[in-house]
């Protein structure tokens, strides 16, 4: 009887162990991040970041202005040098012409005596000045015709010295500033030929003409100080 009871206990224990091994394992539940919307608040897509962007209208306006501009090559001190570059471009079917540009190179100071009532009076005054050995000559054109020029000076202090000397001997001279112009030359590439003047050609020209510059400017003319 005792052995029978012991056998039943062993059979029950074996059945319990076998039953536990047959029960499927329960998967661990992982909750979706959708359940926690607050967790996504700090996440942003790269293209949604606040990156400064150029104004589309400004970029478009600049592109249109560049497309409407002409290419200028220069500047050249001599007209013949500019024509050499022009002919070289024309030989490559690149339409180009030469434009002269006057730039202000400085100021000069003109000392003069205003015109008198008549030419005869001015001539008498001229003879008086020459008798005093003061360099002078009669002005024959412009708004000061029949006046007397007493010299053009590169420095204002030199002109002021002449003014003072003439005032001391009884004259009433005046001074006028004159802009001194310097003329240079630019080769203008036509708008429709700009695409042919590529970087390779610009490099060749820069190697053959020292100091050559190229820039886009309005086709109507070169606007330089």
Whether 163 has a pLDDT exceeding 90, the answer reads: yes
Above 50 in pLDDT, residue 152? yes
Strands 70-76 and 213-217: antiparallel
List of domains in the chain: 59-104+182-217 (3.30.70), 105-181 (3.30.70.1070)
Asked if pLDDT for residue 153 goes beyond 70, the answer is: yes
Contacts (Cβ under 8 Å, ≥6 apart) of 224: 101, 103
Comparison of pLDDT for 24 and 164, the residue scoring more? 164
Least confident of 27-41, 43-57, 75-89, 108-122: 27-41
Interacting residues of 135 by C-beta distance below 8 A, sequence separation 6+? 150, 151
Say whether pTM exceeds 0.95: no
Task: Please report the pLDDT score of residue 91 as a whole number.
Answer: 94
Per-residue pLDDT at 112: 96
**Burial (CB count within 10 angstroms: exposed 0-12, middle 13-18, buried 19+), residue 167:** exposed
Q: Please tell me the predicted confidence (pLDDT) of residue 179.
A: 84
Predicted confidence (pLDDT) at residue 47 exceeds the cutoff of 50: no
Q: How far apart are CA 222 and CA 98, in angstroms?
A: 11
Q: Which residue has the tokens 């009887």?
A: 1
């Amino acid at each position: 009887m005792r052995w029978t009871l012991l056998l039943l206990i062993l059979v029950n224990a074996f059945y319990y162990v076998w039953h536990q091994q047959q029960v499927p394992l329960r998967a661990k539940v992982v909750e979706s991040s959708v359940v926690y919307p607050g967790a996504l608040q700090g996440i942003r897509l790269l293209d949604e970041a606040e990156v400064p962007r150029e104004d589309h209208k400004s970029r478009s306006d600049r592109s249109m202005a560049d497309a409407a501009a002409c290419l200028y090559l220069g500047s050249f001190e001599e007209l013949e040098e500019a024509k050499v570059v022009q002919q070289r471009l024309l030989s490559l079917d690149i339409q180009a012409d030469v434009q002269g540009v006057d730039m202000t190179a400085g100021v000069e100071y003109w000392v003069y005596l205003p015109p008198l009532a008549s030419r005869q009076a001015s001539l008498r005054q001229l003879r008086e000045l020459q008798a005093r050995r003061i360099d002078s000559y009669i002005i024959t054109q412009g708004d000061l015709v029949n006046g007397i020029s007493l010299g053009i000076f590169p420095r204002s202090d030199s002109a002021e010295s002449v003014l003072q000397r003439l005032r001391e001997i009884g004259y009433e001279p005046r001074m006028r500033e004159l802009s001194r112009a310097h003329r240079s030359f630019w080769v203008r590439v036509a708008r429709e030929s700009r695409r042919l003047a590529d970087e390779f050609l610009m490099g060749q020209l820069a190697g053959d003409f020292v100091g050559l510059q190229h820039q886009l400017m309005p086709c109507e003319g070169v606007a330089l100080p």
